[in-house]
Structure 1
C-alpha cells in the first residue's frame, strides 16, 4: 500500500471505540498522539489547546461519573481532555478556539486509529454543567475551558466501521 492509500485508509476506517481490553497504553504512544494533536492547523497559529492526560484508574472512573455519556472511561486505559486557552484566541473572534480544538481532536483520533488503538470523543463544551464539573475537578484556571474528553484503549473484539458516505449531502456548484 502506498502512503496516500495508508493515509486515506486510516481516515476512512476511523471509528468510535467504546470497549477496551486490559492492555495498558504505552507512554510513547500517548506522546505520538499528542504530537499529532499539536500538528493541527489553528487560527493565526495561536494553538489555543492544552491537554490533560489521564492514566490513573480512579480519575478515569471519576470521568465516567462526571459525564453521563462517558461510561467507557471505566474500562479505558487512558484519557485526554482537550482544553482551550482563552488567552490564545483571536481578538473579536474568540470562538475560533472551538474549531482549533476540533482540528486537534480529529488529529488525535486519527493518530489513535493509526496506532491500532481505539478512542472516542465525548463532548464537554458547550454544556455549562460539564464544563463547570471538569473545571472544578481539575482546578482549571479561569482562562482554560475543557472542550472534550477522549477515552483511549486497545479495542476489545471486532469494531464495526460505519460507512458515512452519503451522496445526497453533496451539491455540485449550487444547492
Structure 2
C-alpha cells in the first residue's frame, strides 16, 4: 500500500520536478529519489518575479492541499488563493498600519523600507483558515501547509510560510478582509503562504541533526 501511494504521489505531483540532485550529489533516478530530492531542495523564498502563477499550477497545488490528512477526516480548513492586486494591497496596508511603531524579527523588521510587502511581493497569497471549534485544527492546517510547500516546489514555484501576518488578519478591526475572502464565521487565519516564481536561490541553512534521536 505504501509503495502504491508513493507511486501515485510521484506521478501526479512530481513529473514536472526539475532534475536536481539530492544534497549528496547523487543523481535523481528513482521515484523515491524524486520525493526526497523535492523535500531536501525546497527553500523559503522571499524574492519573487512579477509573473503570475497560472491556473493550471495553482489548481494542482490546491488539490494537493486538500488531499492532506486530517483528524477523523474533518478537513477543518478554508483555503483562499488571492491574486487580486487590490485585495493584496489592502492586506499589505493593514499590516503596515499594525506594524507602525512596533519591532519585529526577520524580514518584517524592514517594514519601514519603501516597497515593503509582508508577503514579499509574491503575485499570489494563500490564506489558510482553521475551524476554531477544533483544538487540533492547527495541526491539520500544518500538514496541509506542507503539502502546499512541496507541491509548489515540485511545479517549479517558490513559497514562504508567513506567520507574522496571522494576528493582523485575525484582529477584529480587520474582519472586513476576512469577509472579502469569504472566510466563514467560526474560522480564523492559521497561516499564510506567499507563492510565485522565485527570483533568488537561497543557500542551505544549518539543520540541527543532533535534535533527532532514535530510541531502540
* TM bracket (short chain): 0.7 to 0.9
Distance 1:72 1:125 in 2: 7
Distance 1:63 1:15 in 2: 24
Contact 1:123 1:149 in 2 (8 A): yes
Aligned residues between the structures: 166
Over residues 11-48 of structure 1, what are the superposed CA-to-partner deviations in whole Å (9 max), with x where a residue is unaligned? 11111101011211101111111111111110001111
- The equivalent of 2:76 in structure 1 is 48
Over residues 115-155 of structure 1, what are the superposed CA-to-partner deviations in whole Å (9 max), with x where a residue is unaligned? 1111111126973x541255331224321111111111101
Give the structure with higher Rg (CA).
Answer: 2
Alignment of 1:131 onto 2:173: no
- The equivalent of 1:159 in structure 2 is 202
Structure 1 gap ranges (5+): none
- The equivalent of 1:97 in structure 2 is 137
The 3-state SS of whatever aligns with 1:30 is helix
- The equivalent of 2:94 in structure 1 is 66
Alignment of 1:171 onto 2:199: no
Distance 1:4 1:109 in 2: 18
Alignment of 1:78 onto 2:124: yes
Distance 2:38 2:212 in 1: 22
What TM-score do you get using the length of structure 2 for normalisation? 0.69
Change (3 A) 1:135 1:104: farther
Distance 2:174 2:79 in 1: 13
Structure 2 gap ranges (5+): 1-28, 100-107, 109-115
The 3-state SS of whatever aligns with 2:43 is coil
Distance 1:126 1:53 in 2: 15
1:146 corresponds, among 186, 189, 193, to 189
The 3-state SS of whatever aligns with 2:170 is helix
Quote the RMSD (CA, aligned, Å).
Answer: 2.3
Paired residues for 1:12-51 under 5 Å: 12-51=40-79
- The equivalent of 2:154 in structure 1 is 114
- The equivalent of 2:5 in structure 1 is none
What TM-score do you get using the length of structure 1 for normalisation? 0.84
Change (3 A) 1:134 1:65: same
Distance 1:25 1:82 in 2: 18
